[in-house]
Amino acid sequence: MVAPSVIYAAVPISVLVAIGLIRKWRSRNWAKCRSNTCLRGKTYLITGASSGIGLETAKALVKRKARIILACRDVVKTKALIANIRKEQPYGGELIPMQLDLASFESIEKFVEVIKAGFYKIDVLINNAGVAVPLKLDLKTKEGFEIHFGVNHLGHFYLTQLLLDHLKKGSPSRIVIVSSLLHEKGEINFNDLNSRAEIELAKQGKTRGRHISAYNNSKLMNVYFMRGLSDRLKGTGIDVSTCCPGFCYTSLFRHSIKWYHYIFMAPIFLLFMKTAKQGAQTVVYCASDYSIEGKTNKMYRECAEYESKYPFDKEVENKLWEVSEQLIKARKPIPIA
Ligand SMILES: NC(=O)c1ccc[n+]([C@@H]2O[C@H](COP(=O)([O-])OP(=O)(O)OC[C@H]3O[C@@H](n4cnc5c(N)ncnc54)[C@H](OP(=O)(O)O)[C@@H]3O)[C@@H](O)[C@H]2O)c1
């Protein structure tokens, strides 16, 4: 007869082994960027490279000998991360930490000034930084824009415009915008780009659905921006693409996930979530694979083209572009005509 203590130990061990095997089987479908072309002489600029997918993208590209500018809020933290990468990869490309806060137009402008003084060209810009914050916190950028709209969309919109001359000098060059499949759940309401209505509901504990609507909206704006930008850059040799890294275990949802969620969500995390390194594969593919050079206005997922199910509207695309320019000029949220 088997002792009860053996049964008590065998059950959780078997469950863990089963989860491990299912995860291994599922991860066979998670794509890997196969290209390992030498990127020596190419300058990459990655926003939000101090953690998660951005950091793993930097590691993968520096291994291929690229020079990487890690644009981050916290340079001290990034220097420590670079020291760790150097222990693993002493002979890769260059890693340059630089201060950038996308929640401040002034910081973006200062950052671009330093880039222009120190670098002749940029070969690839990766707009990766992002926030996902519960709406009830009502966080805003320095200029007063709702944090998802301000950082995920407006900050990158402004940064990209200011860097276009440098990207043209790097031509054939690329702009990769990290969006998400959640863009398909987004909507663009020009009467409330700063999500005031949803924020007020959230403050009263009346949030609709599980998702952070302003995050989804900002990811939709990322795709609209990619579409508008690739049209405007036709013939310049700058390819523009957007990608979804997949559902990854990073610090993105640090404000939304409480400690007790880890207990009952653990099997879901283990079965369905990629690591940041696995999620970075499609970003690295878009940023470095030669087979897609010259392709613009594309969305990628699992290192392959992806056709979004969202019904895009050219009028909305153009209006979002014009409104974004107006808001950057005004440097504060103003009513949209
Ligand atoms: N994780 C997922 O499941 C998932 C799925 C689809 C798409 N994505 C997208 O992937 C991208 C990377 O996210 P992640 O999952 O790697 O999250 P993460 O680990 O939280 O990384 C986000 C990065 O953005 C930076 N950042 C945030 N606010 C910034 C600001 N104001 N100025 C400059 N940098 C700022 C963060 O800097 P700090 O270190 O200073 O906070 C961090 O380096 C995001 O665009 C996200 O929307 C993620």
Instruction: Provide the CATH topology of domain 32-330.
Output: Rossmann fold (3.40.50)
Among protein residues, the one whose CA lies closest to atom 17 of ligand 1: 252
Q: Tell me: pLDDT of 2 over 80.
A: no
| pTM, two decimal places | 0.95
The ligand 1 atom at the shortest distance from the C-alpha of residue 50 is: 43
DSSP H or E segment with residue 329:
helix 314-330
Q: How far is the CA of 279 from the centre of ligand 1 (A)?
A: 12
Please write the tens of the pLDDT for every residue from 118-163.
Answer: 999 999 999 999 999 999 999 999 999 999 999 999 999 999 999 9
Q: Is 184 in the pocket of ligand 1 (CB under 6 A)?
A: no
Q: Is ligand 1 within 6 A of the CB of residue 73? A: yes
133 lines ligand 1 (CB under 6 A): no
Helix, coil or strand: residue 300: strand
Point out the ligand 1 atom lying closest to the alpha carbon of residue 182.
6
Of 158, 215, 224, 285, catalytic: 215
Q: How far is the CA of 139 from the centre of ligand 1 (A)?
A: 16
Residues in the chain: 337
* C-beta of 151 in contact with ligand 1 (< 6 A): yes
The model's pLDDT over 254-281, given as tens digits with 9 standing for 90+, comes to 887 777 777 777 777 788 889 999 999 9
Confidence band for 28, pLDDT divided at 50, 70 and 90:
confident
Position 16 scores a pLDDT of: 80
Ligand 1: residue whose CA is nearest its atom 40? 73
CA atoms within 13 A on the CB side of 263: 3
Ligand 1 pocket member 180 (CB < 6 A): yes
Residue 214: per-residue pLDDT: 97
Among candidate residues 201, 183, 174, the one with its CA nearest the CA of residue 316 = 183
Residue 294 has pLDDT above 90, yes or no: yes
d(CA 265, CA 256): 13
Instruction: Give the distance (Å) from ligand 1 centre to CA of residue 277.
Output: 14
Q: Count CB atoms within 10 A of the CB of residue 271.
A: 13
| Amino acid, res. 215 | Y
Cα 200 to middle of ligand 1, angstroms: 25
Closest C-alpha to ligand 1, atom 43: 48
Q: From ligand 1's centre to the CA of 166, what distance in Å?
A: 24
Q: Which sign does the torsion angle of CA 275, 280, 282, 285 carry? A: negative
CA atoms within 13 A on the CB side of 292: 27
Residue with more model confidence, 28 or 324: 324
Q: State yes or no: is 249 an active-site residue.
A: no
Using CA atoms, how far apart are residues 241 and 226, in angstroms rounded to an integer?
Answer: 6
Instruction: With beta carbons less than 8 A apart as the criterion, state whether 286 and 260 touch.
Output: no
Would you list the domain boundaries of the chain?
A: 32-330
Higher confidence at residue 56 or residue 206? 56
